[in-house]
Every structure is written in C-alpha cells, then in structure tokens.
Structure 1
Amino acid sequence: MTLYEKMYPSNHKTIFVLDHTPYFGISCECLIEFDFTKSRGPAFIPLAPISKSLWTCSVEAAIEYCRIVWDLFPQGKLIRFVVSDTTAHILNTWSPSQQNLTHVLNALSTVGVPARSHQQGEFSVIHGLRAAIEAVCECSDIQHEKRTSLTENASKVLNRCRVICITSARDNNSMKSLKEIFQNAVIQHNKIAAGSDHLIPIHHCHLVIINVYPNNVESQVTGHPPRDLSAILTTEVHSVKAGGQIASKLSNLILSHYDLGSTTVTGIPMKEEQNASSSANYDVEIFHSAAAHTSILKGNAADSALIRTQREGTDYETVTLKWCTPRGCSASEMQNCTAMHRITPVDVNSRPSSCLINFLLNGRSVMLEMPRKAGGKIISHMLAAHGGEIFVHTLVTARSVLEDPPSISEGCGGRVTDYRITDFGVLMQNNKLVPLKRKFDDADAELPLNRMRSRLDRHTKYWPITISSTFIFNLKN
C-alpha cells in the first residue's frame, strides 16, 4: 500500500447500490422452519416453512456489513445507500448524523419489498450506479475541510472510493456491459466535477459487483478477483447464492476492505440454557483491526501456524486463542500493552456472543492464551471494556527489560557473568567517532573515516566474546 493509499483510503467513502427490480422480489429458495411447537396433538397441522426474498437477503447482508464497520470505526468511515428500480432512491448522505443503522433501516422500510408485477418505467440497476457516481463526487466533511484549508496539500486531496453493487446479471456479457457503462459514467462525471468548485473528481474507484441468484438456480456469471479496468477503475465480481452465501461473502470482503482480522475465543465456559446445573464450552468469533495480530504472527512460524485455522464456510483465516480465567479489571492490575483496538462480534445475535459482551461490559477482563508447539502457553491478548466500548489489548509477549537476564549456561556463550562486558565498553570508547570541523579535499592521502574503519577492522579481527575463551586478554597490564 502506497503512502497516498494510506492517506486517502478507498474505505473512507463506500456506497451500496441495491437492485430493487421485480426480480429481487422472488424467493431465494432457502427454506426456514417456522414451527417451534414441542407438543403436537393428533390433529396438529404444522406450519409451512418460509423463505426470504432476494431483496431481504441483500438488505440483511448489507446492514450487517454496516454494523461491523460502524462498531469498529465510529468516525471517518462513511457508507451510503442507493436503491435502484425505475429511478435511483438515495437513502442517506455523507453527513455524520445519517451514518447510523437507525436512519438507514428507517429509510429502507419506506422503500419496501420490490413489486412483483412490472410497473411503468424501465427497471435497471444502472440508475443506481449513476447516482452512486454522482454521490461519490460530493465532498465529505473531512474532504471539504482538507480542500478548504490554507495548506500546500489542499489541492492534493484524492477522492478514492468503493461501490458495492448487489444485483443479478444474466450472463458474463451482461456483466461486462454493466462494467463498461459504469466506467463511461465515471469519466463523464469526472469532466463535470473538474469544472465545479463544489464537486471533487474520482481519482480511483473500486467496483465490487455481487451477483445474487436463488439457491435452486445455476448462475451463468463467472466471478473474478480484482482487475484494473483502467487507471481509475478496479472491478471484481462475486457470484453467490442468496440463501446464506451473500452474508458470508460480505463478511469475507470486509476483512480486506478495512484491514481487519478475525479472532476466535475458544473454551468459553457457559451454563446450558436448558439445564442451569451443567455447563459447556463455546466459541465466539470477533472482528478487529488486523494490527492486533502483528506481534504473534511475526514470531515463531510454528507457533503462528498452530493458532491459524480456516473458518468453516469462509475464505479467511481466524486466530484461535483460548479463554483464560477472568478477573476484575482494576487499576492495580495494569497490563503492559502495545496496542488496543475495538472489537465487534461476528454473530451478534448468538447467545454465546451476547453473554461474552455482557460479561465484559460488567467490568470484567478476559485474558487470552496462545498455545505453543513446543509446549506451554503464553498470555498474548486481553479483552476489556472502557467507557462502554470493548477493546482487545495486545500484551507484551517478549521478556521485559525490568526482568533479570536469562540464564544461558547451556548456550554458546556460557554464563551471563562470563561475557567481557567491561572490555566491550572499552572497545566502543576507544573507537568512538566524532565530527570534525575541518574539511578534507581529495588531495589528502587518507580520510579520517577510512583510517578509523581500518583501525576498527584491525581491533576486531580477533576479539573473544567470553572471559573463559581467552588467556591473553585476561592478562593485566
């Protein structure tokens, strides 16, 4: 990632374009049992299973994407929604007051489920894509503040964005045509934005198209990884079934979109809901910044491979850490932390996730253990809440400078007290370099730097590290 990509990330502005054509009103063909009655009489008629529409599956997946983003990034990561049928319906703006789930859900409720029968007008997702490009050319508050500042970088603000389009295409040719129309629209609106004082041109756009189809249908659209269609447009296509797969696909994509990592807290003791006298161990997966794993994944390769596992039904890896006996989060037990990041549960509605979140919000902290291949374990992370928000703390796993030096009697150097520490200090003192005020020209036979380099090379040709490995250097003058 370049410096400009870090300064102006694509995830600053994201727009969801939801297909609201009549096709999305059909069933996803993924049946859900709706009959939970335990006692059934002889004349009992069971309830028929239900099935969500393509529209419902798309909305639920997009809303879950927003929940994760806004849980982890309360500010700076903006998401807008555009619904497309015979025209484009813009549901929110870049204003921070409209960047919340309540506003988006209220706006989606007014849109409703797509009409089953065709009405007057041309139903197309292209209306929404064009509206998304217009919205991206509008400055966010952060971009407006940088552009109007009196600094030399005011004119160098880059408008990098991402558009996630959830639609359904007939075949690869239809998908290719959709991408070409989008690219032409970007070029056209960039010309308009270049001549305006209020709009900002698109410097780069990442178009993610998710092709959705019912579970009992085979898709004719082939997905592909990110490809550069031009200097300002990168596209990728994912073809997924609506029932279950669209939500997991967006969960996979959000990790790369926002540089997130996954941690699975395993071995959480929890009382059974049906039988309070017995307990079982549960697992809870959480998302957070990928930087929380940097220290442990850059360590021993064998230990890193031991804790990294492929999550079932997903395309990403999760780091598995074991629940340790919790304790009160008091000021007297301060931990040596190197980083702290917000967390959010992946399955927010599950009972184990709810119990873990409530447990932490009640003022308790949980230590997480990382197993080692050579045996033993080490406490690498801690979960604790501060001000009503839960964070994962990366703990120092290396030896502290305040501890006694390790015993290396079986190592190559012998005992710690056997090292020639005093002699090494004298060596550094005798070969110290200081700047000279006098300038030297090319006529000088040898520069002082070269003389010192040859002197240091001569002094270190033979320099034993330990006292026990030399006799000459132990003779006192």
Structure 2
Amino acid sequence: FVLDHTPYFGISCESPIELEFLKTRTPGFIPMTPICKSLWTSSVESAVEYCRIVWDLFPQGKLVRFIASDTVAHILNTWSPSQQNLSHIMNAMSLIGVPPPHALNRNLEYTVLHGLRAAIEALSDCTDIQAKKKKNQVFGDVQTKLINRCRVICITSARDNDSMKRLEEIFLSVLQQQNKVAAGSDRLLIIDHCHLVIINTFPVNIESQVNNHPPKNLSTILTTEVHSIKAPVISNKLSTLILEHYNLASTTVTGIPMKEEQNASSSANYDVEIYHSSAAHTAILKGNALDSAAIRTIKDGLEYETVTLKWCTPRGCTSSELQNCTGMHRITPVDVNSRPSLCLINFLLNGRSVMLEMPRKTGGKITSHLLAAHGGEIFIHTLCTARSVLEDPPSISEGCGGRVTDYRITDFGLLIKQNALVPIKPAHVDESNKPNQKMKTRLNRHTKYWPLTISSTLIFNLKGYIDPLPTIITKEKITDEEMFQCKRIIYNLISLEGKNESLYPLNTGQRVKGQKREDQYKAMWNELETLLKKNLHTLDHRNIYNCLLECHKFNFDDEKLSEKVELDEALRELDHIGSSNAEQDVPRASVIRATTDSPMSPPPLTSITPPVTKSFNGRSSGIYSAPKTLLDVFTTQEKAKSRPEFSGRLIGNAVTKLYANHKHTDLGSRGESMEVE
C-alpha cells in the first residue's frame, strides 16, 4: 500500500458522522458541530481493513508493506513476519501522525511519487521465502523457479486524466530502471510483473476530473487500472477488489436468531456476511442453474455477488462430530465490529457449530455448509451433497445420484435395439454414404425429441392413443398408408377431446390430481406439435404436421391457424381416409369405438332411444348409425352357430338312419340298425 500523506489529504471528506444520543434532548440542548473524517483517515481505515481480511484468511504467505508519502517515503513495516500484523501498522501510523495542514517548507516537494519509488525498491527486496528459494537455485535446484509477481495499491488524488497518465508513465519508467539494477545484483530480484491499482479519491462535494479505466497493459511487466471514487466509499471499493485479488467469495448467513439488546425477552433475525475462499462455493454453483441463481444476489451498494445461505438451528451438534466434508476454508466477518458478527463468532468459538441450508427453486432445501471452530480459528466446511463414496452405487432404477427415479428405461432399451450397430465388410461400404455418417444421421433423427423421464412427457405415456405415430414420424421416409394412419390418430384425439374424456384411464392410476382435462389436452397438443415440428423430413411428414395445425388451434404469434374442426367433421374425414370398400369400413368403425370409448364410460345417449326398425343383415353407414335391438343381436348369434341341422329336418318327413357310421360286431337281439322317423 502506498498512502498519500500530502497536506491535501488532511482536508475533510465532507461526510458527517451520525451520532446517536442515549439521553433525550433537553430544551437547552446545544447540538454538536458535525464531525467528518479526513481523506487520510478514510484511506488508512480502508487499507487497514483490507489487510485485516488478508491476514485473517492467510496467516502465512501473504505479505503486505505500508508506505506513506509526503516529502519523503515513510516505510512503516518490512517483509519480516513479525511486522505483518495490525498492531505494528497502527503504531507506525500513530508515529507519522496526520498530514501537515500546509507545506512547512516551500522548497520541499509533497508528492506520492516518493512512495511509489520506495514501493518498487521494496518489491525487489527478497522475502524470507524468496531468499530460501534463491539459495536453492544457487545450489543447483533447477525445479525451483522463482517468479516475482507483485501488486501496488496507491490511494492518492489527481487533478485530471493527464496527471494520472503521467503518474502511470513515471511508475513504468522507474520499474524498468529498477529491473536493470536488479539484473546486476545478487541481492535484489527482478520484478516479473507488477499490477498497479490507483484509487483516486476526493471529498463528497467535489466532482473528479479523473475517469475510471479497467485493467490495461502498459507493457509486458506492468498492468494498471484506475478507480475514481469518493472518500467515504473507499472501503467498499477495496472490498470488491480484495475478492478479485485473492480469489475470495462472499456468503451471507441469514436468519440468525438473536435477542434484542434493549428487550431480552424478544428476538429478531439478523444477517452476517463473511469472506472465505471461492472454492467453498464450487459445489453448489456447479449444480442446478436455477438453484444457483436463486441464492446469488448483488450486495446492496457494492459491486460483487454474495451467496445467501440460511441458518439452521443447531440440534446438539458440536464441532467434534464428524461430517462428510469435501473442503474446509478459513472465514472472517466483513463487519467485524457489529453486534450480530460478534454474537456469531462467540457462538462458534464456544465449541458450537452451525449448519447452513441452501433453498431450492423446486422446493425443499439442502444442507450445504457447516461453520465450526478448530483451535481458535473458524472454518467453513463444504458438505457433500451427493452420494458418499462409502455407500453402495445406485441402481439404474434410482437414477443418477439416486434422485431421478422415473427414467424411461424401457423406451431407452428399445431405442438401443432399434439403433444397434453391426460390423460391415469394407467391400460393401459406399463412399458417398458412409455407414458411420448414416448412423449418426439416424440417431439424430430418432432423438430430435426424446424426453428422458416419464414425468417430463405426456404423449409417450399414452401409447394406447398415440402409437404408432412416434415410431412412424421418425422414419426417413413414410408411405401413404403410414401417413393416413398418423392422420387417423390425430382425428381420434380430436374425437376424445370432443367427448371430454380423460387422457388417463381410470384403472391405471396415472391421473394427476388437481389437473383439469383441459390442461391435459393442452399439454398433449403442445407436445405433439413439438414432436411433429422437429421431424419435418419429407413432404409427407409436413402433411401430417399441417393436418395437426388444421385440426387444432395453437397460440402461435407468427402463424394464423384455422379454428379447430368440429367432432362430426373429423369423424367424417376419418370415414373417408384410405380405402372405402365395404369390407374395411366395419372393422375400422369398431377400432374407432375401441380407441374412443373408455371401458368405464357410460353408454351413449343414442343407446337409450327407442330402437329403429332395421334389418339385422343390413350394414350400418357409419359409427353413429342406430344400434341393434336385442332381437337382432339374438338372431345374429343364432345364425352364427356352426352346428349342422338334422338330416331329417332338412329333407322333411323322411326316415334317416341314426348313427349311420356306427358299426357293431355283435348286434345282439336288436338285429338291424335302429331307424327313427
């Protein structure tokens, strides 16, 4: 960090601090003069809070230097681990004091450039870890490659964009000169890459002339970015930047029950935001996209996302109990001085643990994380939300992970059989139409629309009404007879809808509770339209699709379709489809009745009307002709009997031999065969 300590940073940021008085104001109460922080105070508080988060999450390995710049560079700490703590930094800040109110010596130059030069020199110095690696390289350890990458965060104030551009150019020039010096020294390190982040700050009542610009490469060793923000919100900007710099993520623990400070008998729910490694969210963000989007929100007044997880009331669970975890990362509260944060931290440090729940878009929730303390440090544990490796593998009927249980396993097996591959001799391979490409085309055609689960489809569950339309429509070419058969199925569905019959037979137990028949038919028509639209391979396929559009009205924005045909018209067209000879009309009418009448349906109204006089051997002209009387049915059954009539009755009053083919060796006293009249 390079902090501007020039006299300009001693001015007020013009943002009064709100004070709350516990006692009521008396009539003679004199209000206090508004108190505002200076630019220097806002800069120091934001930088120190940035370092607190870094050192909380990374107790070792992440080193931060502080340099204040006025007429000279004030180095507040070194790379020594003993000086990498907040106490040392705050003591050093108190020693240099606030910026001078005005220039004490006109001959001295107050500028932030002194601090930037000192920062570049400090980046060339070896830390303890770098010195150890460099020593290993000297002794021939070629596997240890020392790369010196660094970042400089400078909080200053510039007049305009030209001043900011000159500042960046001077920094690049000094960086290149320092690398030349380090190249000829055994003690210094060459800076491989430096990331310069300049925060241009100013009071609330002033408009800055400096524009923001995203990270850009001034050279191969320097990347710069500029953020122009008001002094009171420097901490908000650094909170956003720290997530990018150290690959962190934000989690908001919501619904924490806590007693009110003034009224201990009542309680309220509070939220606490914590920072941790972004790897803790990898599992839940890779899951269902809808569930991930539901828990990710933009933090109010900030620029980063936070994941909201709900507090789960502990049920006697302590941190000593084992949980199936896939990761563990340190955490730190964002607002460390707030009462909800203190209560949560003390609760965890006392040996308790907190389970965090992730709500799901489809309903329900899942326990995804655990907060617990180990050795005085608090960690967030990522719990395993899938099956454990210690459990038995799920069967295919349970589905992936044991969650989906209604896969179309039977239909999938049939699909595999229909597309089985066999070896072919090279002599029979047609170069213009290779078997592999032909099979890929066939598979693509068969899977244009193929729902994976039973619950995600309706038409594939209505095989009694739909078959064999799905099989025919996926063929490369269809015959006229198959096209007529598909149209007949569409007309049968029109007939079912006209009779307002349920698509789910009552004896199958598949009917969905609370679903109206209109909704059933609407879902069926929409899915059938999707199936046909995705299989427009030839003109015959399109004719079937056009037949559906003519018979049923869809709410399309780009197409104006005709009204749905009436039931009588559909049945009339059904009677004229295909061959019209007399032998095929009767079985077709019986097929229509079998497919349109449910076994549990009441008899039609025409069956209770008075019978119509009609010859029993006359053929009905359609499926709505008058029904046969009981006498006609009985007579028809009698005529259908195959038992031959007695010969005597056929000839008349004649004598015929009974048992004519029956021969006896011993006739006894009866003599000749018996004759009857």
Indicate the TM-score class for this superposition, using the shorter chain for normalisation: 0.7 to 0.9
Alignment partners' CA distance in 1, 2:30 and 2:326: 60
* Structure 1 residue corresponding to 2:352, chosen from 350, 364, 373: 364
1:377 corresponds to: 365
Tell me the amino acid that sits aligned with residue 141 of structure 2: T
2:407 corresponds to: 411
Total equivalences in the alignment: 406
* Structure 2 residue corresponding to 1:305, chosen from 277, 293, 297: 293
Alignment partners' CA distance in 2, 1:59 and 1:332: 40
Distance verdict in 2 for CA 1:118–1:67, change over 3 Å:
same
SS of 1:368's equivalent in the other structure is strand
Matched ranges for 1:184-223 at <5 A: 184-223=173-212
SS of 2:219's equivalent in the other structure is coil
1:53 corresponds to: 38
* Structure 2 residue corresponding to 1:119, chosen from 104, 121, 136: 104
Q: Which runs of 5+ in 2 are unaligned?
A: 414-442, 444-677
Distance verdict in 2 for CA 1:45–1:336, change over 3 Å:
same
Cα root mean square deviation, aligned: 2.2
Alignment partners' CA distance in 1, 2:241 and 2:185: 34
SS of 1:78's equivalent in the other structure is coil
Alpha carbons 1:34, 1:47 under 8 Å: kept? no
1:78 corresponds to: 63
2:126 corresponds to: 139
Cα deviations by residue, 1:232-261 (Å, 9 ceiling, x for unpaired): 000000001002x10100000000000000
Tell me the amino acid that sits aligned with residue 68 of structure 1: I
Cα deviations by residue, 1:333-361 (Å, 9 ceiling, x for unpaired): 31100000000000001110010000000
Cα deviations by residue, 1:29-61 (Å, 9 ceiling, x for unpaired): 000133514222221112222000000000000
Cα deviations by residue, 1:91-149 (Å, 9 ceiling, x for unpaired): 10001010000001000110111011111111000000000000000011111111111
1:129 corresponds to: 116
Cα deviations by residue, 1:338-389 (Å, 9 ceiling, x for unpaired): 0000000000011100100000000000000001111110000000000000
Alpha carbons 1:35, 1:48 under 8 Å: kept? no
SS of 1:333's equivalent in the other structure is coil
Alignment partners' CA distance in 1, 2:378 and 2:316: 15
For normalisation by structure 2, the TM-score amounts to 0.58
2:512 corresponds to: none
2:658 corresponds to: none
Alignment partners' CA distance in 1, 2:323 and 2:143: 40
For normalisation by structure 1, the TM-score amounts to 0.82
Higher strand share: 1
Tell me the amino acid that sits aligned with residue 283 of structure 1: D
SS of 2:32's equivalent in the other structure is coil
Alpha carbons 1:329, 1:384 under 8 Å: kept? no
* Structure 1 residue corresponding to 2:81, chosen from 92, 96, 99: 96
Alpha carbons 1:329, 1:363 under 8 Å: kept? no
Alignment partners' CA distance in 2, 1:23 and 1:259: 34
Alignment partners' CA distance in 2, 1:281 and 1:391: 22
Alpha carbons 1:266, 1:321 under 8 Å: kept? yes
- The answer to whether 1:43 aligns with 2:28 is yes
Cα deviations by residue, 1:394-416 (Å, 9 ceiling, x for unpaired): 0001123415643766312269x
- The answer to whether 1:314 aligns with 2:302 is yes
Alpha carbons 1:260, 1:287 under 8 Å: kept? yes
- The answer to whether 1:106 aligns with 2:91 is yes
Alignment partners' CA distance in 2, 1:103 and 1:42: 47
Alignment partners' CA distance in 2, 1:414 and 1:397: 29
Matched ranges for 1:426-465 at <5 A: none
1:151 corresponds to: 141
Distance verdict in 2 for CA 1:332–1:261, change over 3 Å:
closer
1:344 corresponds to: 332
Tell me the amino acid that sits aligned with residue 87 of structure 1: V
Distance verdict in 2 for CA 1:23–1:367, change over 3 Å:
same
SS of 2:220's equivalent in the other structure is coil
Q: Highest relative contact order (Cα 8 Å, sep 6+), 1 or 2?
A: 1
1:328 Cα offset (Å): 4.3
1:26 corresponds to: 11
Q: Which runs of 5+ in 1 are unaligned?
A: 1-15, 420-461, 463-477
1:238 corresponds to: 227
SS of 1:208's equivalent in the other structure is strand
